[in-house]
Amino acid sequence: MQVLNSLRTDLRLRTFQAITWTAAQRGDHASRLLHHPWRANPYPTHRRLRAQGDLVRSRFGFHTATTHALVQQVLRDRSLGVRPANPDTVPVELELLDLSFLTRNPPEHGRLRALARPAFAPRLMERYAVEIEKITHDLLDRALAKGRFDLMADFAQPLPIAVITRLLGIPDDDHAAFVEIGAAIGSSLDGTRSARHLRRVQDASDRLNVLFDQLMRLRRADPREDVISTLTAATDEGRLTPQEMAAMCRLLLVAGFETTVNLIGNGTAALLRNRDQWDRLTADPDLAEGAVEEVLRYDPPVQMTSRWVHEDTSIMGHDLQRDSYILCSIASAGRDPDRFTDPDRFDITRTDASDHLAFSGGIHYCLGAPLARLEGRIALRALAARAPHLRPAGRPVHRPTTTLRGLATFPVTTEKG
């Protein structure tokens, strides 16, 4: 029976991929975002979607919100949620792992988010900044000594994983395992593509649960000032179930890693493609703060999110029925010409770049946004200050994902050509 169910799941998932591929070939722009070659540079597709309207209906029945104004309104509207009113209506191809409050509606969302909030308190940012500076420069010492290196493997990836694992209290010996697990779980945000992919994600989640269970036992015996210790205490006090604890740790690991690694990678790529902007940053590294905001607008690490309509409602003149599914294109909102002047131009001195929606909005605004901004600012500033002659040494390769947009590899060099 288990084999039969696996075959049925695999058939359904692969059928979904085939159907969306066919729709993409026939001009369905929302489907094109899921597939190569359109996925490699999604922004022309986003532009075509905006030209069709601020709310575009796919031939599969769901809608895509394309403009800054509508995406912002949808994210803030309390009559919509991240899960449908009836959870049984979620299609298997859209089913995600439990990622704690990211995938929960109120009131569970508020209860769980409140337990995680202390780890991101403003008073802790100064302490985190000292640690991030040290990690950043240690990584650059090793990378720059090579002359030619992979920006992703040698800098962009190890920096946020070191930060989030230290915040959680994860031993250094487990870093490599957490990178592998995080990548597998992050790939599920596009939905599962096949039974094999589903098993890979589930196996990664199971491995993560084992690691966190071991850490919980260690923290009970030796509590420390880290997130695992805090959440372990909340679990022992009955404010959090063991399953909720695992889901929250899973979310903090994936979100803490994926957002920042893609911010650094996408940002450096954009700066080196637009050499005048790189030169401005190297001449004045204090522009790093503005550079981070412009990257988040121009090429956001998280390209889209979604909402389910919980009750019949109307938003900006659009009548929406209960159980409707809306894809919110954060990437399209950032390139909306009605909100940003000359939106396809990358400009790190843009004064209104911070009005992007890269960290979502409403009650689900990213809890870790201050930490991601801090890491991005320190990383780009250090690169500009210490490697002003940095340039591409090969073509960057994008990861084959849609929801998360980032680079798999990016060879760079400080050697003179």
Model pLDDT for residues 364-396, shown as the tens digit of each residue: 999 999 999 999 999 999 999 999 999 999 999
Average pLDDT over residues 192-220: 82
pLDDT reported for residue 191: 64
pLDDT reported for residue 182: 74
CB 373 within 8 A of CB 103: no
Q: 41 - beta bridge partners?
A: none
pLDDT reported for residue 2: 42
Contacts of 289-293 with CB under 8 Å at 24 or more apart are 289/373, 289/377, 290/348, 290/349, 290/350, 290/353, 291/267, 291/348, 291/380, 292/263, 292/267, 292/373, 292/376, 292/377, 292/380, 293/350, 293/353, 293/354, 293/356
Which residues are CB-neighbours of 109 under 8 A, at least 6 positions away? 82, 101, 363, 364
- Say which range, 75-84, 202-211, 324-333, has the weakest mean pLDDT: 202-211
What is the band of 88 on the pLDDT scale with cuts at 50, 70, 90? low
pLDDT reported for residue 146: 95
What is the band of 339 on the pLDDT scale with cuts at 50, 70, 90? very high
User: Greater confidence, 184 or 302?
Assistant: 302
pLDDT reported for residue 202: 83
Q: Report the C-alpha gap between 42 and 138 in whole angstroms.
A: 35
Residue 207 confidence (pLDDT) above 90? no
Residue 337 confidence (pLDDT) above 50? yes
What is the band of 4 on the pLDDT scale with cuts at 50, 70, 90? very low
Average pLDDT over residues 245-257: 85
pLDDT reported for residue 3: 42
What is the band of 5 on the pLDDT scale with cuts at 50, 70, 90? very low
- What percent of the chain is modeled with pLDDT above 90? 57
pLDDT reported for residue 138: 97
Q: What DSSP state is assigned to residue 235? A: H
Neighbours of 374 (CB within 10 A): 21
Residue 10 confidence (pLDDT) above 60? no
Average pLDDT over residues 119-146: 93
Q: What is the sign of the dihedral through the CA atoms of 308, 310, 313 and 319?
A: positive
pLDDT reported for residue 249: 86
pLDDT reported for residue 287: 98
Residue 158 confidence (pLDDT) above 60? yes
User: Greater confidence, 6 or 254?
Assistant: 254
Q: What DSSP state is assigned to residue 35? A: S
pLDDT reported for residue 16: 66
- What percent of the chain is modeled with pLDDT above 70? 90
Q: Alpha helices, DSSP H only, in 108-241?
A: 108-116, 122-146, 151, 158-168, 175-186, 195-221, 227-236
Residue 108 confidence (pLDDT) above 60? yes
CB 334 within 8 A of CB 343: yes
What is the band of 92 on the pLDDT scale with cuts at 50, 70, 90? low
pTM of the model: 0.91
Q: What is the CATH number of domain 53-413?
A: 1.10.630.10
**Digit-coded pLDDT (tens) for 278-317:** 999 999 999 999 999 999 999 999 999 999 999 999 999 9
pLDDT reported for residue 383: 98
Residue 338 confidence (pLDDT) above 90? yes
Q: Report the C-alpha gap between 113 and 84 in whole angstroms.
A: 19
What is the band of 48 on the pLDDT scale with cuts at 50, 70, 90? very high
Query: What's the mean pLDDT when you consider all of the chain?
Result: 88
Q: Report the C-alpha gap between 187 and 202 in whole angstroms.
A: 11
What is the band of 13 on the pLDDT scale with cuts at 50, 70, 90? low
